Structure 1
Amino acid sequence: MTDFVVEERPERPWVGVSITGELAHWGRVNAHVPQIYAALAAAGGIPLGGPVYQYHRMKTAADPMDITVSVPVAVCIELGEGYETGVLPAGRYLVARPEGGPDVLDRVHGEMWQWASVQGLDLAIEERADGIHWQARTEQFLTDPETEPDRSKWAVEVAYLLS
């Protein structure tokens, strides 16, 4: 079982690209990561860590989902056409930091939902006909794949905003 904590967090600025993507074609989603870092560098911005995947709407893992691929920054900086800026909202977050990279995420998300329910924690979501709409659900990769090619050693942070 993964360890979970509840953390109070300030707003977190980001730059990125919002898209609709599918797990079956995740390479199309990931293709935005180097583009965002390159645009940020060209604009003189400094990233504050690894990429953050923000999930906004999801029905099932097989369905298209609305997602923002982003990079955390100290302050929002305009990168030009096709890029967005925003902030992850301040608040209380349920957080897990498992090792195992993308291969453990399905299990970790299931455990987080179960743990939140047992603890009486409400996730900041709205259930609609087209899926679950998240106020803030993120996965941030903490390990650079360039320096650690073994996916089983990658650390990732999963965070859900609580109501």
Structure 2
Amino acid sequence: MTEFTVEERAERPWVGVSTTGELAHWDRVNAHVPRIYAALAAAGGIPEGGPVYQYHRMRTAADPMDVTVSVPVAARIEIGEGFKTGALPAGRYLVTRPEGGPDALKGVHGEMWRWAALQGLEPAIEERADGIHWRARTEQFLTDPQTEPDRTKWAIEVAYLLK
């Protein structure tokens, strides 16, 4: 059973790249991660953790989704053309850190929705004709794949901003 918590969080600055991607071609989305870290290092910035995938618009897992691949930083910093800077909003977040790495994520999201509904919690979303628009839905990779090649051992944090 996955454990869920509700956490109050401060605003969290990031640098990254916004894109549209499909799960079938997620390697194109992942390709931004080393570029962001390299640009951040070249600008003298220091990462505050592993990459964060911010999901902005989704319909189904098979459809293209709007996502920002980002790296958390201590304060907003410009790292060059083609890169964005922003901040995850402060607020209450529903959070889980599932076991099983990226392959466990599909089931985790369904469990989060069901658990939130049972608790009377509502994710900060807006449903539109082109899909669900999230104010903040993230997956942060806490394990460096270069030090732990076994995907099933990767630590990941999933967080949804709540209304």
Alignment-derived partner of residue 98 in structure 1: 98
Match of 2:123 in 1: 123
State the partner residue of 1:20: 20
Aligned residue for 1:64? 64
* Aligned Cα root-mean-square deviation (Å): 0.4
Give the alignment of 1:1-163 within 5 angstroms: 1-163=1-163
Structure 2: runs of 5+ lacking an equivalent: none
- Report how far residue 100 of structure 1 moved: 1.5
- Runs of 4+ aligned residues of structure 1 deviating over 2 Å after TM superposition are none
**Counterpart Cα distance in 1 of 2:51 and 2:92:** 21
Distance in 1, Cα, partners of 2:83 & 2:137: 20
Deviations 1:17-72 (A, max 9, x none): 00010000000000000000000000000000000000000000000000000000
Deviation at 1:80, TM superposition (A): 1.0
TM superposition shift of 1:10: 0.1
CA distance in 2, matches of 1:119, 1:8: 16
Q: TM-score, normalising length from structure 2? A: 0.99
Where do 5+ consecutive residues of structure 1 fail to align? none
1:73-94 Cα shifts (integer Å, max 9, x gaps) = 0011101110000000000000
